[in-house]
């Protein structure tokens, strides 16, 4: 049986892996925003130093992405270490009925959700969840 300290350590590892995934996604988006540089010696308006700076930024983003991949390869999850199937831990405060359905609740009825927006600011909201129509997970307000 897993101790509470082991459970907390595993949860922390999963959080770190999630952060690495998010950072890699952000790096990928930043790379897509980098404009391509075309060196044209005939065009006097082309700025080779500006192009060089953009290429260096792009190279740094590639290096960062590779470092994250390396970190993830050497960062075992708790489930891999124990050779058991990975259990997905969903939020304790679901934002909608689809998350409630993913948490294993399959019966239609009233549930409490925590929509994330500026108006409700982490306040709870009682809604009806339709778990029968088209596979379920429908939030009815």
The 10s digit of each residue's pLDDT in 31-59 is 777 766 665 555 555 556 677 777 788 88
pTM over 0.85: no
pLDDT at 120: 65
83 backbone dihedrals φ, ψ, rounded to 5°: 55, 45
What angle, 0 to 180 degrees and rounded to 10, lies between the N-to-C axes of helices 48-73 and 4-33?
A: 160
Beta strand residue intervals within 59-141, DSSP E? 109-113, 125-130, 138-140
State phi, psi for 4 to the nearest 5 degrees.
-65, -35
- Please check whether residue 91 is in contact with residue 99, taking contact to mean a CB–CB distance below 8 angstroms: yes
Tokens (6 digits) for 96: 């909608």
Please report the pLDDT score of residue 44 as a whole number: 52
Measured distance CA(19)–CA(56) in Å, rounded: 25
């Amino acid at each position: 049986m897993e101790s509470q300290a082991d459970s907390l350590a595993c949860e922390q590892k999963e959080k770190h892996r999630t952060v690495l995934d998010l950072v890699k996604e952000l790096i990928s988006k930043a790379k897509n925003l980098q404009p391509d540089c075309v060196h044209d010696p005939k065009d006097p308006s082309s700025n080779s130093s500006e192009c060089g700076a953009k290429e260096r930024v792009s190279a740094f983003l590639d290096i960062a992405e590779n470092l994250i991949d390396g970190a993830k390869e050497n960062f075992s999850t708790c489930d891999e270490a124990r050779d058991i199937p990975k259990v997905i831990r969903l939020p304790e405060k679901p934002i909608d009925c689809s998350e409630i359905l993913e948490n294993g609740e399959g019966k239609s009825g009233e549930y409490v959700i925590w929509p994330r927006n500026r108006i409700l600011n982490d306040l709870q909201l009682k809604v009806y969840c339709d778990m029968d129509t088209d596979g379920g997970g429908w939030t009815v307000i």
